[in-house]
Structures are given as C-alpha cells and as structure tokens.
Structure 1
C-alpha cells in the first residue's frame, strides 16, 4: 500500500486540535500532515519492517534507560514541527532538558518540538525521494542526527546539521555520535 496525500484546503483547513481529534477518532489509521496542511494517510508496515523498527527502538530504549539523557518515542508519536508539519518518525529521541521544558499539556498531544534524533526505516512501499525529503525536513526543523535505513539496498544515509548526507553501504554499526553519546546500533543481523 502507498501513502495517500489529500489536500483539504479547498474545503477545510484543519486546526491543530481538529487534526488531533481526527487522529484520536481513527486510531486504526496513521496520519501525518505536511507543512502545506495536506493530510497524509500512512499504511501500516509489514512484518519485516515492524520487526526491524521494534529491534532498533529496543536498543535505543535500553541505552536511554542506562544513560537517562532523554526520552524515546516510537512511530505512533506525532510531533508538531516548527514549519507546521505533523510528522511521526519511525523512532525519535529528545534530550531530557528540551523535553522537560515543554508544558505538560504540550507533551500530552502532539508535542510542538522537533526531535534531536530521528530514524526512518524504508519499507517496500516507500518512495525513496519522499522519505529523503522527510529527512531533510527534520533537519530544517532542528533534528541534529538522522538515519535513513534502507534494507533493500543495504544502505544507511546519515543526516547531520550543516553537512552533506553521508551514505554507508552495509555498515556493521552506527554511532549515535555526540547526539546519542555512547549509543551504537549493531546492524549485523539487520541486513
């Protein structure tokens, strides 16, 4: 299944609260909204992609529990980016200081913050150009480190603030660098 983009603006412009309620009223669907206000309906992932997402997220959570440096989020979390888009990366991490600076009511819905770290895992139905644009959007809104993992091509594109995208072929490990200090993701069984 492909993602579908619907331009509602000729009929209605959803407020943040209306978008939140739409998502709450249809929990079986995953919605995103781009900076132009278009509604994006995302298909569920397949088993292989879901398993890979879960494994990566588990490693990040274990590291974070040990370091207590921030907060981890899975693919069901929507973030309100500074450009107005609502995005749900496959996994995300926000530093403790930035997350705790948000008011409790901001944290309870779609937090108005861009994660420090995001990862997107390509599924067979994703269009590479679309996910690459999404990764660029994260950077433009404040993400400091991003990984775009593509199991089909066995590549990882690393996105960093102010730097060209680095493409790695079949890497064995990925480093969290200075954003996730001490975090290393083992990829030997990933490919």
Structure 2
C-alpha cells in the first residue's frame, strides 16, 4: 500500500525537506511515498542503468541515473531510471554534476512494483512527456510487458520479441524478452 500524506505545501517547501527512504514524490501539493524496491525491481533498475551507461557515458551522449529526483511544474518525482542527454545534465559553476535537477529526463523508466498503481505511474510518464520527456517506459514484470509513452503522448504496449524504442542518439537494441531475461540469474 502506498502512503499518501495530505499536506498543503509548495514544491519549494517540499524540496527543502530531507530525503526519505523510500523516496517521496510531490504531485500537485500531495506527497506520496514510493514503494520500497524488491528483488526484480532492483535487478532491472541496476541492469538498465548499467547497460545504458556502458553505451552512452564514454561518448558523452547521455547518462542513466537510478532514483534521481526530478522537479518542475508543481511535481517532484523520482523515476526508477532517469536518462538525461549529456548536454542537459545540470552542472555547477565548477563543471561538476549538480545535485538538483530542475526538469524532467529525456527518457524516464519506471518499473512497476507489486503494490504500485499502474495509473499513477502512467500519469507521471504522461506528465513528463507533456513537459519535455521524449520517451517513457513502464516495465511490468508481472505480465512481462513494457508500455512505452512517446513524446506526442502516443502509448504502445511492447511484448516478447518486440524491439524497444530508445532515444535517437543511443545505439541500443533491446527486446522485451532481453529485459525480462535479466531476471534469470
């Protein structure tokens, strides 16, 4: 069950609060706690981040961040994997990566947990696509499907040997079966 705390605060007030584990998200004045990741979720999250970063980091195309807080437009969410194109990664004056990411990722990946609402997660992905995210994945380990949200709000379900869409500059070819085969260890 996902805990919801009914409070009326602003996004800035929410961002001043200390981080929690599991992470909390802020959507239109309401704070919810994400479910604590379990085995399949954790495996898919680290594997996706690693595979993407092996392809994109050395060439400075993009970077995949696990559990990164992204905030803007009265929302502060924590996608399971947030992929930012290299030029969009916020930096400090010294050129280091910034701690605060004001904006949503280019590619947002969510892995559905057993007690998580599909509609809530899909709503976050659709909101992100309305606000600059080019691609969203909703991975459902239970039924082995991946729902993809495109930048134009088109939604498509991928299964089995379907090749998954990725950001244009990322040379990665994955099928739905490839992703779920990572659960066999």
Q: Are residues 1:89 and 2:79 paired? A: yes
Q: Are residues 1:138 and 2:131 paired? A: no
Please report how far the alpha carbon of residue 136 of structure 1 lies from its aligned counterpart in structure 2 after TM superposition. 0.8
Q: Are residues 1:74 and 2:66 paired? A: yes
Name the counterpart of 1:30: 23
Equivalent-residue separation in structure 1 for 2:166 and 2:147 (angstroms):
13
Equivalent-residue separation in structure 1 for 2:170 and 2:98 (angstroms):
27
Normalised TM-score (structure 2): 0.84
Higher relative contact order (CA 8 A, sep 6+): 2
Give the number of aligned pairs: 179
Please report how far the alpha carbon of residue 53 of structure 1 lies from its aligned counterpart in structure 2 after TM superposition. 1.1
Which 5+ residue runs of structure 1 have no aligned equivalent? none
Equivalent-residue separation in structure 2 for 1:171 and 1:147 (angstroms):
16
Root-mean-square deviation (CA, aligned residues, Å) is: 2.4
**Residues 94, 104 of structure 1: CA spacing in aligned structure 2 closer, same or farther, 3 A cutoff?**
farther
1:174 is paired with a residue of what secondary structure? Answer: coil
Q: Are the aligned partners of 1:172 and 1:188 in contact in 2 as well (CA < 8 Å)?
A: no
Name the counterpart of 1:40: 32
Please report how far the alpha carbon of residue 63 of structure 1 lies from its aligned counterpart in structure 2 after TM superposition. 1.2
Normalised TM-score (structure 1): 0.82
Equivalent-residue separation in structure 1 for 2:109 and 2:35 (angstroms):
18
Please report how far the alpha carbon of residue 184 of structure 1 lies from its aligned counterpart in structure 2 after TM superposition. 2.5
Q: Are the aligned partners of 2:61 and 2:170 in contact in 1 as well (CA < 8 Å)?
A: no
